[in-house]
Amino acid sequence: MSALLTPGSGCPWDLKQSHQSLARYLREEAAEVLDALAEHVPGDAETERHLCEELGDLWLQVAFHAQLAQDRGAWDLHEVEAMVVEKLVRRHPHVFGEVEVDGAEAVLVNWAAIKQDEKAGRGDVQEPRLLEGIPASLSPLDTALEIGRRCAKVGFEWPDMDGVLDKVKEEVEELQAESDLDRVESEFGDVLFSLIQWARYKGIDPDRALRRQMVRFQSRFRHVEDFAAGNGGWERQDLEGMEGAWQAAKRSERP
């Protein structure tokens, strides 16, 4: 990165970049890591290599930002590393100190308390509203997940899994009962939000679940496409034949 950003001998494209202009590439590289994770099979050479490659591309963005900062005398890559190490040590007193915790939930409670102490130490005495400060760059799905997490921390949560499922069913029934397009959109949003909270309660990452489903769908649809190509093309297909090819693709996935 130092060579790429050297005036006169560096790369003309890299030399034109700023922290702000790089933001879109950071989002793109993070999305490609998430796609690689959706396809990843532990131990599979191809998907292991793909994940490693995409993480390298994401890490390059960190190095790029750090080099820009170093060139203007602000901070460098070593300071980025040092800051995160210091934060990890401070927020894991059960590993690096004498604090004892009982399970993962206790770790999260302790983590939140330490973050509050950090804010107080910086003079942030005014307590922000619970749902303020959610990054605007998060996807709508991840934003909904974060809203649910924050509300659950203060006890605004269903008491059990049945309660969450009942809410999902209730929202689906309300969706089915609507005919006005604006109301349908509103109720559809309620269904999605409730499903995301069910996934959170269940311990499922909804973004990963959706990405993996799309990988499966694309794989199965390739079988449907091959079936159509071998039987006169799309114009000669009907839904029954395509559904048969789809089901055959599903069966071929099973061990």
Could you report the per-residue pLDDT of 41-53, keeping only the tens digit for each?
999 999 999 999 9
In the block, residue with structure tokens 């694309």: 218
| 231 and 149 belong to one structural domain | no
Residue 175 is part of which domain span?
140-204
| 194 and 220 belong to one structural domain | no
| Residue 141 Cα distances to 135, 145, 148, 213, 244, angstroms | 12, 6, 11, 15, 33
Residue 209 has pLDDT above 70, yes or no: yes
Domain for residue 112, yes or no?
A: no
End-to-end distance of the chain based on CA atoms, in angstroms?
A: 46
Residue 98 has pLDDT above 90, yes or no: no
| Pairwise CA distance, residues 189 & 193, whole Å | 6
Last residue of a domain, one of 81, 103, 125: 103
Could you report the per-residue pLDDT of 137-167, keeping only the tens digit for each?
888 999 999 999 999 888 898 888 888 889 9
Residue 109 has pLDDT above 80, yes or no: no
Domain for residue 48, yes or no?
A: yes
Give CA 98 to chain center in angstroms.
33
Domain for residue 116, yes or no?
A: no
Domain for residue 108, yes or no?
A: no
Residue 125 has pLDDT above 80, yes or no: no
Last residue of a domain, one of 103, 131, 148: 103
Mean pLDDT to the nearest integer, 9-15: 97
| 95 and 16 belong to one structural domain | yes
Token readout for 97 is 């100190």
| 190 and 224 belong to one structural domain | no
Number of structural domains found in the chain: 3
